[in-house]
Structure 1
Amino acid sequence: MSTEQPGLFDQEETAPVEKATLPPEIVPPQVFLPGVNYEQSYPGVNSMQELKTVALGCSNCRLREGCQQVVFGDGNSQARLLFIGEGPGKDEDAAGLPFVGRAGQLLDKILNAAELKRSEVYIANVVKCRPPGNRLPNPDEVKHCRNFLEAQIRLLDPAIIVCLGSMASQVVIDPAVRITKIRGTWLTRQGRSIMATFHPAALLRNEAYKRPTWEDFKAIRNAYRELPDR
């Protein structure tokens, strides 16, 4: 039987946990469209490859003008566990894949510690093109790219969705949510289990987020293991 890896954040899991003092979070502008309508986007597209082809040709907003390439998403097209981040950064823009920079390397480390294989999950972002200077996507950019995310959810039909950070949580769950209030809580939408947790980039900025994030990933792992066979 495998065991958990206690060194995930260089802390023993059995060590006493002190209550962390979390800094005020940076709240994205709360003007996004509430909720995700999973069934209405690109209804004529019937596979992830078809959708990717459409996305690669997208020029609906100005983000495409300033990025190297569209970062559609990556992972198992039959995945039952979907992770949603904010948008590609410099490294992702260069590679054409999500979560390959420092935050992505940390995400891989967390997945491995939780005994979740990246090859078994799917990873996407709210927007598919890198915002200039790694700024937050604006509402118009989110609106134009949102259809791709909705279609990805429809085509994947995941049982579990994990929102990484405030941006993904506000787009998928509700525009008014705050990640520090909602993280670690299971929600159910249209038969899917949804949890928000901190974005790996936030952990790189502040170690106080590491322990609660690890607790969230253990809950995600347990829920994933308990999924019935399709």
Structure 2
Amino acid sequence: MDADTALALLDWQIDLGATEAIADAPVNRFELDPRPAKPTSSPSPQHAVDRGADPSAAARAARPQPVSAPGPDPVQAAREAARAAGDLDGLRAALLAYPHCDLKKGARNLVFADGAPDARVMIIGEAPGREEDARGLPFVGREGQLLDRMFAAIGMGRTEGAPLYITNVIPWRPPQSRDPKPEEIAMMLPFMQRHVELVAPDVVVLMGNISCQAGLGRRGIARLRGGWTTAYGRDALPMFPPAYLLSNPHAKRDAWQDLLALQARLATGNTP
């Protein structure tokens, strides 16, 4: 067969739609190639130099890359700052100067404490809400009014009767009053421990899940409330927070029992 005849036959096959050459046996093009893939490797810096590549670029590729140093440990920084505070004013200043808690960037005020620093009872709440953030005081508004009425019923108050001292685990309001994150609680815990040491109360009242998580390492205020325990080296009594009681009035009976237990503890000096 001459070349002209072969070309004519090829054109005829193309006109019929045959655009690929076929073999004697069918080919399954969906099968994986059984041959192992050839390994690919980057040329070594020496080979790059041998082929005329930029020697400085090869040297940079071979040079060990620097590892960035880890940043400061927020918890360790909190321990050092809290330990250095010699009194409550110093602790407040240490919190104001503490740079690692981003909550302070969105809060209006530091909510440090209220009441008498020489009180026998120290109430530890969870975190400020909107009104607390605006006024810079813990437990104000409806929740604060209920708290005051609760403790007034056993002869205690911020300004009248047996004195109270009131603070929060978190001194800045979280965005949208969300629950504090574990890392936020962890970095505030050394400040809370030092706060209790400086006030030296007979009893701490842990109000709510966040307060129990910080002081006891446990949550579940419905199970914990009313049971005497130890937190920050002091006798501790978990209680429902006022916000929960406002939403669940049926729990006020439990809160009254806890208040009576606290009153008995203060009167006798012994945990029931």
1:164 aligns with 2:204: no
Instruction: Answer whether contact 1:41 1:150 (CA < 8 A) is retained.
Output: no
Cα distance change on mapping 1:190 and 1:128 into 2, 3 Å: closer
Which residue of 2 is the match for residue 28 of structure 1?
Answer: none
1:116 aligns with 2:159: no
Q: Which amino acid aligns with 1:57?
A: A
Q: Which ranges of structure 2 fall in alignment gaps of 5 or more residues?
A: 1-78
Which residue of 1 is the match for residue 82 of structure 2?
Answer: 42
Give the match's secondary structure for 1:224. Answer: helix
Moved over 4 A (4+): none
Report deviation, 1:205: 0.7
Q: Which shifted more, 165-174 or 183-192?
A: 183-192
TM-score normalised by length of structure 1:
0.77
Instruction: Answer whether contact 2:113 2:165 (CA < 8 A) is retained.
Output: yes
Cα distance change on mapping 1:189 and 1:67 into 2, 3 Å: closer
1:139 aligns with 2:179: no
Q: CA RMSD in A?
A: 1.9
Give the match's secondary structure for 1:42. Answer: helix
CA distance in 1, matches of 2:139, 2:248: 18
Report deviation, 1:123: 0.7
Instruction: Answer whether contact 1:71 1:98 (CA < 8 A) is retained.
Output: yes
Q: Which has the higher helix share?
A: 2
Q: Which amino acid aligns with 1:164?
A: M
CA distance in 1, matches of 2:187, 2:232: 23
TM-score normalised by length of structure 2:
0.65
Give the match's secondary structure for 2:173. Answer: coil
Structure with the bigger RCO (C-alpha within 8 Å, sep 6+) is 1
Q: Which amino acid aligns with 2:212?
A: S
Q: Which ranges of structure 1 fall in alignment gaps of 5 or more residues?
A: 1-38
CA distance in 1, matches of 2:195, 2:139: 17
Which residue of 1 is the match for residue 109 of structure 2?
Answer: 69
Which has the higher Rg, Structure 1 or Structure 2?
A: 2
Report deviation, 1:192: 2.2
Instruction: Answer whether contact 2:124 2:204 (CA < 8 A) is retained.
Output: yes
CA distance in 2, matches of 1:70, 1:161: 21
